[in-house]
Structure 1
Amino acid sequence: MKYADFFNQAAGFEPFPYQARLAEAPWPDTLDVPTGLGKTAAVTLAWLYKRREQRDEATPRRLIWCLPMRVLVEQTCRNIEHWLQRLNLHGLPGEGKVSVHLLMGGEDDVRAATWAEHPEEDMILVGTQDMLLSRALMRGYGMSRYQWPMHFGLLHNDALWVFDEVQLMGPGLQTSAQLEALRRDLGCVRQSRSLWVSATLNPGWLGTVDMRPWMDKLARHALDAQECTMDAVRARREAVKHLECLPVSLEGDSKTFVQAYVTGLAERVIQAHVPGTTTLVVLNTVERAQGLARALKERTEDRDPLLVHARFRARERRLLEQALGTQVPPEGRIVVATQAVEAGVDMTSRTLFTELAPWSSMVQRFGRCNRYGEYNGDGGARIYWIDLDDAVSVPYDAEQLAPSRERLRALTSASPVDLPPTKETAPEAMVLRRKDLLQLFDTDPDLSGFDLDVSPYIRDVRETDVQVFWRTLNRDQKTASRLDDIPRPLSRELCRASLSQIKSYRDKRKAGRVWAWDAVMGTWQSVSDAIRPGMTLLLDAEAGGYDPVLGFDAAHKGDVEVIPVPADLPAPEAYSSDVRSLLRRAVPLDMHLRDVGQAAGELCRALELDEVFSRSVIRAARWHDVGKAHEAFQNMLRAAMQDPQARRAGLWAKSDGMARARPEYFVERDGLQEKRPHFRHELASMLAWLEHHPEEPESNLIAYLIAAHHGKVRMGLRALQREQQPRDPDLLFARGVWDGDALPPVPIDEGESVPPTVLRLDLMRLGDGPQGPSWSARTQSLLSEHGPFRLAWLETLVRLADWRASRLEQAEGAEHTDDEPSQENGHG
């Protein structure tokens, strides 16, 4: 099919020439096209055409749309799904078509049944830079820490990253450039690439320390001279937009100053509003936008303003989208927004008010006024810009606003053809270096329980966010320092809030507490000063903090309506969690090892993995659960068995218990139970492998892939907090395994079996010992040899093989439901 026909079938209209060229030529590195000319359709349909029609091997399987703001990313997903449906290409994972996935944090976007389980399929991921870049830095916000390596591997291999509206990305833009350069330098298993998109892109912003050697080779895609003469393009580029400074200013950030400011601004907005049209007001902070919305509501009884910012839950965002998508009523519509409107909101207005912002942001805001030239015949549109005192420049620096102010004072038109180009240098930010990325590859928290903070690489430190959700707590829970069995949040419950908003929320409530999940101890624990960017926090619904019209509001005291979740939704994953071994159907250990080895082989063939890597992945898959033969694991599993016969005989990989209770690992010693909290069977598997294959080629790589297949034993090896210590103080122990523990014989298949094995932990010690180099030395050597992107990809494949085999083994069990993600997918 010709691309023009392909595009027309999907979008319902003919492509612009630049859109057709994008699909027919090699991928560029930057796309510089004015607003309103369909960049999302251009990139998405070009990728789709190259993948499905041209079978272009240079086009990665995964298309990743990275948006700087959360507002209306769901709308981007729906637009893409609409195009796919018109092409009869939209499907679910596993159907061989193209699936679309929204990455917003919470349980929903990390289920195995979604994107992560199908690396061999074409798919499109849409998310914010917070969600996507944090995962690309091995510190994924809003998800289980034990799946960080998996998402890291999938997002850095076989992926085309599209960074949209880059002028809003802040430090994230330089991080995106560094990651692209590091992928080129360190290598990936499957080719990945980046495409930076904006109507105000300064290519110099990409010239980071590791990207500089590649700058001369970056290819730019833009409109050509002939396209600029087309009527549809001219209507947009020459749209009439009268520009003037509004005689209203904000001189301080005190409550009195802000109230006077929003009151005066509300009067001006009402006076300038034209019935039957949209008036858009863009303010730089959520608090001022909420204040203006309140002031307008008090003065316009016939219509409530629509408020657009990133501090809403999914349900309220959907209602907002529906309202924005309806026809403008006869009295018109007033929309109050933050800079979130610069990205992802396809809207136009006849009248625009905007606070002073950096020049690139001002150009984007101007693009939301008379966007398609629809008011050119009515005398054009009007834009009023509002000057700000340097003392209230936040979230920007005063130095960023000064050049923009100077340019605006010299202009009377905001038509695209009249606007000077963007010349500002990239804002100063912490730059991700190679050593930083390699350090982030280790996912163990430090000895104090903290993780390396990646927020400075993602957002300006003044814009850092957390995610919150509300649940109804009983009296005892409200006074407890830790909570058990509160279910994990779903993405539809989550709402973003800034660190300053959370501090204000906490300060206004003497009895109000904030809880965060402790993934090692497996409890929700009260936090105060330890709140960090990217955390997911539990709040008490009766303590308020949210208004469905205004969004997150620290001052709001009314009860928050709790969004219903399934009654049997489990708690978040803890270090000792093993619910994926407690399923509907018991599975013998030898059967499971064979099944996972076979699934690994099929996956490697589907991905055309090279022979050395394929051999390592398959070998690791065949040995990955050998450690389940350990007495501590078998005792835990048998205690959950429903079948009395199964409790007595054989070695098992899965029980039929479907237990919701936390597993208890123990061994019998002298008639007494010796508890082994934090027991990890994959550590026992790895130790058994090394005991029998110390000199085999790729032995260390296979050992690492065995250990890492749950994301809980990776680069380091040390005892965890509250582990049971042996009576012998000199005996080494870690993750529930004690030096000298023994495994019985384990059959794998007719050609291989594991003899009785005594487990040794000498490799916990630094330096060379009886077992050779330490575990830390081995893993650092692997990281140096293969690089982080390849290593994460390989450990992901072993885990996926485990998941697939487990799912097939459970297929003969009872019907599965979407409300039981862990058991449904049978993660092993």
Structure 2
Amino acid sequence: MTFDTFFRTAFGPDSTAHAFAYQRRLATEPWPDLLEVPTGMGKTAAVTLAWLWKRGWRKGSRAIAPDGDTPRRLVWCLPMRVLGEQTHRNVEAWLRNLDILGQPGQSKVSVHLLMGGSEDVAQATWAEYPEEDMILIGTQDMLLSRALMRGYGMSRYQWPVHFGLLHNDAFWVFDEVQLMGPGLPTSAQLEAFRKSLSLIKPSRSLWLSATLNRQWLATVDHPADTLTALALAEEEWRQPAVSTRRQAVKRLHRAQVCLSGATKSEQETFLDQLAEIVRSAHHPGTTTLVILNTVERAQALHECLGPPTAKGRKKPGMQAEVAAGPERLLIHSRFRGPDRRAIEERLRQPPPESGRIIVATQAIEAGVDLSSRILFTELAPWSSLVQRFGRCNRYGEYNAGGADIYWIDLADDADVAQPYAVASLQASRKKLEGLRSASPADLPSTDENTPLHPVLRKKDLLDLFNTDPDLSGFDVDIAPYVRDADDADVLLFWRNFGENPNDPMQPTPSRDELCRASLGKAGAPALLGRLKDGQVFRWDPLARRWIAHRKNDRLRPGLILMIAAEAGGYRADCGFSAEIKDAVTPLTNALVETEPEAFESDPRSLLTRAVPLPLHLADAQRAAECLCDALQIQGQEREAIVTADRWHDVGKTHEAFDSMLREAHRKGTDQELGEGYWAKAGRLADRKPSRAKYLAADGHERKHFRHELASMLAWLHVQDYATDERTNLIAYLIAAHHGKVRLGLRALPEETEPNDGRLFARGVWEGDRLPAFTFADGTNVPAIELKLDLMQLGEGVQGPSWTTRTRRLLERLGPFRLAYLEALVRIADWRASREEQA
């Protein structure tokens, strides 16, 4: 099969699609670092199908060995994917036509959309199959936050797994780099660190744009002059299919309206005038696209284009009858999943006879396959304008009659220019004033200076490897490395929970429930400023409950907030708006009946079938061996993974864990667990996992008990507290297999404190004893008295402190290598548990 045949097959038997020459070169030549191709030329298909080709996939199966320079995880990092499902749907269609689309575990190619919520960390998802080829799609918020060990919209205890897998055996593709803001230098720095720090499996990056300036990728650790680029060759520009798009007729005009100020009156006057101009310019049967720079202006214009209300001007969020005339669509990034998909479904349909008017934000610039006859756009940085122009007469389909673009001027005022800088808009205005055509062939090149953004350094990355909150309960803020402050988001969802969301316990939100909202519009005084106490809650994993979020509490990017449905703030046709006061309809059909993960919760120990501890340890060890075989991991690293899985749950023989498991089993089955030690409790199919206390024999509750700490202490004891790298690595992997005991070891708030002054941490007390234990292969472990001297700084009877041991590991192996090993130990444990239940 040739690549051209492969390409046509991906688009289906009835498609006339054919590969451009650059797409063929991308698949058959070494990967470049940069891909600069005009908009509308199929960059997504080019990279995805080239990756599949180089991974050895052909129609129906993998036909040849994968290319060694092509990692097995393709990571599509999108700047503001308002319609991320579009890419997901297209990629799945290509794989389906090639008959290689599968689910994790089927040894085909799976596709995953990372959007936060419970689905992203559910068992048997992408993270459990590191040996399989797969495609991950997400925004830079979702992906870069995970690459910085602070994943937005997911359990903090899963951060290390995603971090490890996204830095090893991962092919990062950054689309429309001109929209990435601080995420762009962060992407360059991470690539530089992956080259300078140790990896277990090689990774690489590719940056895409129609308006690429390689100097934007020059950072203190990442020189740009050595980057290789792929662009269209001169003969490719002359091909009819390319020249038709390059010379597409796009007459350029200055709109007869200007936003002169940021006051409410000036904004309303501007929007009323713009609505009339848009109506007059629209052609029936075609699409008119209006791109505004803020969500609030887009929502307001969308309302202005609708029918008037009896009381006069409408406000964003007011209900309005559908008017006769053009269909109206609103596109921005503040919608819940089902509403976003409904908009996308309407976009896939041809415009009605009266035509369609789409009002959008800059979110339309990246990845939305859309072509309009008339385009209105507010002034924006030049690279963004070029992308917007590409949404007009995109394929040259209106060349006969021509298409028109109207640019809307903005006053040189910082408030009006938001979210852009006045200087950037001035530079664009200077270019526009001399232009009469926005045809790609007539547009000047992008020469904007490299924007100034915070730059991630190696020390910052190493500091982020520690996932423990600081003593005040907060995490290191990664927002400056991900997105401009004005664009940073929190995630909201709405529920009917009465007076107390903990009675009954509200489950973790699904991705369909989550809606992005900017920090400024979600916080006080906008939304939170008008809500009552007891209407907004956030999950506290240490307290294991929903706690009230007060008006003056700090908001941080990626924070998930639950809002009372009666408080308002959202409507299906408008999206999030702080001005909407009508009750929100919760997405009850999207509920996932799982409690958000807490520090002391152990959901993988409370399953449907009881499992003896020796059996589970043997199953985990065998799963680790199979995983290492599949990934071709040998030597010391293989031994560390396998040994860690062999020992990871030995601490479940601790009396506190044993009592908890037996109580949970009794509540779940009305029966007692048998003799011996157990790894999993069982329950009847119609019963939920039961909360049970960790009680020691003396009756004291051991709050925040972690069995993996006891397992790690037992391993070190058996090794006579040796300080070599092997011993410390296995100890770390044992301790970290739930993501809750990692670099640091200290007592937590609300722990039960011994009354005799003994050391204590994570529910383990100095002097606790683990009974003698026998592995499934007959190996005996004697009874062990647990010591906690290593939680103190300096040298003690257990040798160097835990902090010293783990810091040496981090410095020696590097964060990417260590996290990958950590992930593989956990994945083997998950697989063993799943197979036991099956």
TM-score, scaled to structure 1 = 0.95
Q: Report the equivalent of 2:372.
A: 349
- Superposed CA offset, 1:431-488 (max 9, x none): 11100000000000001100011111000011110010000121x228xxx7761110
Aligned partners of 1:579, 1:84: CA distance in 2, in Å?
34
| Distance across 1 between alignment mates of 2:411 and 2:93 | 42
* 1:738 aligned residue (760, 765, 774): 765
What does 1:520-669 correspond to in 2, within 5 Å? 520-528=542-550, 529-565=553-589, 569-642=593-666, 646-647=672-673, 649-657=675-683, 659-669=688-698
Deviations 1:343-386 (A, max 9, x none): 12110111111011111000000000111111111134333333
CA distance in 1, matches of 2:361, 2:36: 24
2:46 paired residue number: 42
CA distance 1:566–1:219, change in 2 (3 Å): closer
Deviates more, 1:109-118 or 1:288-297: 109-118
- Which residue is 1:417 aligned to? 441
SS in 2 for 1:524: strand
Instruction: Give the drift of 1:520.
Output: 1.5
Q: 1:512 to 1:576 in 2, by over 3 A?
A: closer
Match of 2:292 among 258, 272, 283: 283
Greater CA drift, 360-369 or 412-421: 412-421
The equivalent of 1:105 in structure 2 is: 116
- Tell me if the contact between 1:243 and 1:385 (Cα under 8 Å) persists in the aligned partners: no
SS at match of 2:340: helix
**1:544-582 Cα shifts (integer Å, max 9, x gaps):** 110111100111111111112477702200001112111
Shift of 1:67: 0.7
- Name the SS of the counterpart of 1:65 in structure 2: strand
Distance 2:570 2:493 in 1: 10
Q: 1:567 to 1:434 in 2, by over 3 A?
A: closer
SS at match of 2:561: strand
| Alpha-carbon distance in structure 2 between the residues aligned to 1:45 and 1:389 | 45
**Deviation for aligned residue 1:251:** 2.1
How much has 1:389 moved relative to structure 2? 3.1
Q: Distance in 2 between matches of 1:449 and 1:406?
A: 49
Partner of 2:835: 808
In 2, the alpha carbon distance for the partners of 1:331 and 1:644 equals 66
User: Shift in Å at residue 634 of structure 1?
Assistant: 0.2
* Identity fraction in percent: 57
- Deviation at 1:522? 1.1
1:156-188 deviation per Cα after TM superposition (whole angstroms, max 9, x unaligned): 110101100111100001100000000100021
Tell me which residue corresponds to 1:21: 25
| Structure 1 unaligned residues grouped into runs of 5+ | 812-828
Alignment check: 8 A CA contact 1:710 1:799 kept: yes
Alpha-carbon distance in structure 1 between the residues aligned to 2:267 and 2:519:
21
Contact 1:637 1:654 in 2 (8 A): yes
Contact 1:356 1:387 (8 Å CA) reproduced: yes
Indicate how the Cα distance of structure 1 residues 432 and 569 shifts in structure 2: closer, same or farther if over 3 A, else same. Answer: same
Of the structure 1 ranges 17-26 and 495-504, higher mean CA displacement relative to structure 2 is found in: 495-504
Q: Aligned equivalents of 1:716 and 1:562: distance in 2?
A: 40
Of residues 795-804 and 695-704 in structure 1, the stretch that sits farther from structure 2 once superposed is 695-704
More displaced 10-residue stretch of structure 1: 643-652 or 539-548 = 643-652
Alignment partner of 1:689 is 2:715: yes
For the residue of structure 2 that corresponds to 1:702, the secondary structure is helix
**Structure 2 vs 1, CA of residues 259 and 311 (structure 1 numbering), >3 Å: closer, same or farther?**
same
The superposition leaves residues 756-806 of structure 1 with CA deviations (integer Å, 9 ceiling, x where unpaired) of 101000000011111111100111100000000000000000001101111
Task: Give, in angstroms, the shift of residue 714 of structure 1.
Answer: 0.2
**Is residue 493–residue 513 contact of structure 2 (8 Å, CA) maintained in 1?**
yes
Q: Distance in 1 between matches of 2:356 and 2:590?
A: 38
Secondary structure (helix, strand or coil) at the match of 2:807 reads: helix
Query: By how many angstroms is 1:409 displaced?
Result: 1.0
Alignment partner for residue 736 of structure 2, among 673, 695, 708?
708
User: How far apart in 2 are the matches of 1:566 and 1:294?
Assistant: 29
Counterpart in the other structure of 1:794: 821
- Larger deviation, residues 92-101 vs 637-646: 637-646
Partner of 1:519 in structure 2? 541
Cα separation, 1, equivalents of 2:74 and 2:171 = 5
Instruction: Give the alignment's TM-score, normalised by structure 2.
Output: 0.94
Name the amino acid aligned to 2:124: A
SS, match of residue 521 in structure 2 = helix
1:507: how far off?
1.6
Q: How does 1:71-90 map to 2 (within 5 A)?
A: 71-90=82-101
User: Any conservation in 2 of the 1:600–1:798 contact (CA below 8 Å)?
Assistant: yes
Contact 1:145 1:519 in 2 (8 A): no
User: Which of 754, 774, 782 pairs up with 1:726?
Assistant: 754
Determine if the alignment matches structure 1 residue 200 to structure 2 residue 233.
Answer: no
Q: Distance in 1 between matches of 2:245 and 2:187?
A: 30
Quote the offset at 1:750 in angstroms: 2.7
Contact preservation (8 Å) 1:577, 1:663: no
Deviation at 1:388, TM superposition (A): 3.5
1:566 and 1:177, CA in 2 relative to 1: closer, same or farther beyond 3 A?
A: closer
Aligned length: 801
2:508 to 488, 493, 498: 488
Matches of 1:112 and 1:347 in 2, distance apart?
Answer: 36
Distance change >3 Å, CA 302–CA 379, structure 1 → 2: closer
1:10 corresponds to:
10
Higher mean alpha-carbon deviation, 345-354 vs 691-700, is at 691-700
| Aligned 8 A contact 1:640 1:659 in 2 | no
Work out which of the residue numbers 234, 247, 268 in structure 2 matches 1:238.
247
Question: Pairwise CA RMSD of aligned residues?
Answer: 1.5
Work out which of the residue numbers 115, 134, 154 in structure 1 matches 2:145.
134
2:664 and 2:690 in contact (8 A); partners too: no
Secondary structure of the structure 2 residue equivalent to 1:249: strand
2:368 and 2:582 map into 1 onto residues whose CA distance is 30
| Pair 1:434 & 2:458 matched | yes
Partner of 1:502: 522
Which residue number corresponds to residue 233 of structure 2? 224
| Residue type of the alignment partner of 2:146 | R
2:340 maps to 1:317: yes
Contact 1:485 / 1:570 at 8 angstroms: preserved in 2? Answer: no
Mark the runs of 5 or more structure 2 residues left unpaired by the alignment.
58-63, 309-322
Check conservation: 1:249, 1:389, Cα contact below 8 A.
no
Alpha-carbon contact 2:251-2:403 (below 8 Å) kept:
yes
Partner of 1:819: none
Counterparts of 1:512 and 1:290, CA distance in 2: 29
Q: Is the 8 A contact 1:356 1:388 kept in 2?
A: no
Deviations 1:562-620 (A, max 9, x none): 11247770220000111211111111111111111111011001000131100010011
- Does residue 118 (structure 1) correspond to residue 145 (structure 2)? The answer is no
Q: Secondary structure at the match of 1:247?
A: strand
- Tell me the CA shift for residue 644 of structure 1: 7.3
Alignment of 1:85-96 (within 5 A): 85-96=96-107
Instruction: Note the 1:162-201 alignment, pairs <5 A.
Output: 162-201=173-212
1:504-534 CA distances to partner (integer Å, 9 max, x unpaired)? 1112234563211111111111123222111
Q: 1:359 to 1:91 in 2, by over 3 A?
A: same
Note if contact 2:534-2:548 (Cα within 8 Å) is conserved in structure 1: no
Q: 1:745 to 1:172 in 2, by over 3 A?
A: same
CA contact (8 A) 2:247 2:441 kept: yes
Instruction: Give the match for residue 316 of structure 2.
Output: none
2:361 corresponds to which residue? Answer: 338
